Amino acid sequence: MRMYDIIMKKRNGGELSTEEINFFVDGYTKGVIPDYQASALMMAVYFQKMTERETLALTMAMAGSGDMLDLSEIQGTKVDKHSTGGVGDKTSLALAPMAAACGIPVAKMSGRGLGHTGGTIDKLESFPGFTTALTRGQFIENVNRIGIAIMGQTADLAPADKKLYALRDVTATVDNMSLIASSIMSKKLAAGADAIVLDVKTGSGAFMKEERDAKALAQEMVRIGKNAGRRTIAVISDMDQPLGYAVGNALEVKEAIETLQGRGPADFVELCLTLGSRMLLAGGKAETAQEAEEKLCKVIADGSALKKLAEFVEAQGGNGDAVYNTGLLPEAKIVCPIPAPVSGYINHIICDEVGICSLILGGGRETKENMIDLSVGLVLRKKVGDYVKAGEPLAMIHANDENKAEEAAKRYLKACSILDTPPVHTAFIKEIIT
């Protein structure tokens, strides 16, 4: 078999056999197939697409390219949750302790932010001392003892995806449905959970800008999960504006803590309850979605979810006191408003642009090696549909550099459109695919 023939077959619109896909994944993981041939194949896939069979074969090959975690030593049904990525998406920070407080063992693998999207691990590192460098033994012990452990993608877990994702990121081949579906699902399958709840984002801050594409991605991932014998559910949710109000690592941690204190933004709470209820149903902790939501609301009201967050942070080396005293989280030196230039209704906020504002402030990475400033970001004051008077703050900038604050403010103003009439209301949860 030759890589050249595989590239040409796909370039010409052919369907690759499972053997050809295995040959590519195996050779690329071992470093026998060079980046330039893998890039050419990714671009051919981008234009010619993959069939369902090819996508499944690619997923299984990448999942099996390294260790497959065996979580059988963890009691109960392990449920993993994964988001396709967005702006202000701090869901795991609130949802993992909520689900754990309801008795669901959360054994989760998370990622770092890249481009305009944030990552759970960066956010968690806002807790001084927090680490995801756990041994397999510690990971399992923590889940059994406190109900949550979160680790990063190690070099041994789906290494083919790790290499390919980095390559796709610099060759403009990320936003292809089969490549995203196989990338996410290969990691989820290798990470060993019994059930998977997917949060598929759609809108200007998501990889899938159009709802029909997000739906196709969700259906593809659910199909892959089921074929691999894992119970898989996907929720399609809005990412046409940032989730909640806070965008930026420590700022999002603070908003997640406020949510666990019962003071969360409406869209964020709705998402946590929708995803959380699916986790509880999948894990056998509730019979109906309503019963599940009631249980989730209860663990917020009685403080047990907040306590679970503190326990989890402590168990991974972080300062759990910061859960009760958010002044211990990193804070930016400059906090300044972005005043509205005119009065009117917020019509649209170009969501990925808000992610880029956070990036400009130093809150995200442009390359995998960049250091990030955990304290900076934006806190929106007005969201789509809200009325604002000229001069009132649209958002507050949290920065450590005046020039960067000015640049981010200018960019934010361009991303935010204000009109005389209110916009048409659209549903936040678009669909649930089972």
Min separation Cβ 214 and ligand URA, Å: 12
Question: 217 or 397, CB closer to ligand URA?
Answer: 217
Measured torsion, CA atoms of residues 349, 352, 356, 357, in degrees rounded to the nearest 10: 20
Cβ proximity to ligand URA: between 96 and 179 the closer is: 179
Candidates 84, 142, 204, 259; binder of ligand URA (CB under 6 A) is: 84
Residue 399 is a binding residue for ligand URA (CB under 6 A) = no
Question: Judged by CB under 6 A, which stretch of 56-64, 121-129, 173-181, 271-279 contacts ligand URA?
Answer: 173-181
What would the DSSP string read from start to end of 248-260? SHHHHHHHHHHHH
Give the residue, chosen from 174, 315, 372, 408, that forms a contact with ligand URA under the rule CB under 6 A: 174
By CB under 6 A, the count of residues binding ligand URA is: 9
| CA-based torsion, 375, 377, 381, 384: positive or negative | negative
Residue 26 annotated in active site:
no
Report the residue number whose CB is nearest to ligand URA.
Answer: 183
In this structure, are residues 99 and 91 in contact, taking their beta carbons and an 8 Å threshold? Answer: no
Establish whether 168 is a catalytic residue.
Answer: yes
- Among 80, 89, 122, 161, the active-site one is 161
Angle, in degrees to the nearest 10, between helices 91-101 and 289-301: 100
Q: 183, 186, 237, 277: which one is catalytic?
A: 183
Q: Does residue 180 belong to the site contacting ligand URA (CB under 6 A)? A: yes
Residue 259 CB, nearest distance to ligand URA (Å)? Answer: 23
Stretch binding ligand URA (CB under 6 A), from 93-101, 122-130, 176-184, 370-378:
176-184
85 near ligand URA, judged by CB under 6 A: yes
Quote the tokens at residue 257.
């803590």
Among 177, 184, 233, 253, binds ligand URA (CB under 6 A): 184
41 binds ligand URA per the rule CB under 6 A: no
Interacting span for ligand URA (CB under 6 A) from 94-102, 180-188, 270-278, 327-335: 180-188
HEC readout, 86-108 = CCCCCHHHHHHHHHHHCCCCEEE
CB atoms within 10 A of CB 362: 22
Q: Which residues contact 296 (CB under 8 A, 6 or more apart)?
A: 98, 99, 102, 272, 273, 276, 277, 280
Annotation says 112 is catalytic: no
Nearest to 41 by CA among 163, 206, 131: 163
**Which ranges of 150-263 does DSSP label H, i.e. alpha helix?**
159-169, 177-190, 211-227, 249-260
Q: Which residues contact 302 (CB under 8 A, 6 or more apart)?
A: none
Q: Are 29 and 160 in contact (CB under 8 A)?
A: yes
Site for ligand URA in 192-221 (CB under 6 A): 207
- 240 or 373: CB nearest ligand URA: 240
Question: From the CB of residue 234, how many other CB atoms can be counted at a distance below 10 Å?
Answer: 26
- For ligand URA, give the closer residue by CB, 184 or 340: 184
- Would you call 74 exposed, middle or buried from its count of C-beta atoms within 10 A (0-12, 13-18, 19+)? buried
* 177 counts as binding ligand URA under rule CB under 6 A: no
Of 82, 254, 382, 430, catalytic: 82
Beta carbon of residue 207, minimum distance to ligand URA (angstroms, whole number):
6
Select which of 187, 278, 308, 398 is catalytic.
187
Q: Which of 46, 165, 268, 312 binds ligand URA (CB under 6 A)?
A: 165
Minimum CB separation from ligand URA for residue 186, in Å?
A: 9
Is 231 part of the annotated catalytic residue set? no
Gap between the Cα atoms of 110 and 52, Å rounded: 26
Q: How far is the C-alpha of 240 from the C-alpha of 202, rounded, in Å?
A: 7
Strand partners, 202: 238
Q: Give the nearest distance from C-beta 15 to ligand URA in angstroms.
A: 21
Decide: is 183 part of the binding site for ligand URA (CB under 6 A): yes
Q: Which tokens in the block code for residue 135?
A: 């041994």
**Is 398 tagged catalytic?**
no
Q: Which stretch binds ligand URA (CB under 6 A): 63-71, 131-139, 178-186, 350-358?
A: 178-186
Q: Which stretch binds ligand URA (CB under 6 A): 6-14, 179-187, 227-235, 369-377?
A: 179-187
Contact map string, positions 326 to 345, toward ligand URA, x by CB under 6 A? --------------------
Sign of torsion over alpha carbons 384, 387, 390, 393: negative
Catalytic residue among 78, 112, 168, 254: 168
Q: Name the token pair of 29.
A: 């993981």
User: Which residues contact ligand URA (rule: CB under 6 A)?
Assistant: 84-85, 165, 174, 179-180, 183-184, 207
What residues act catalytically?
Answer: 82, 161, 168, 183, 187
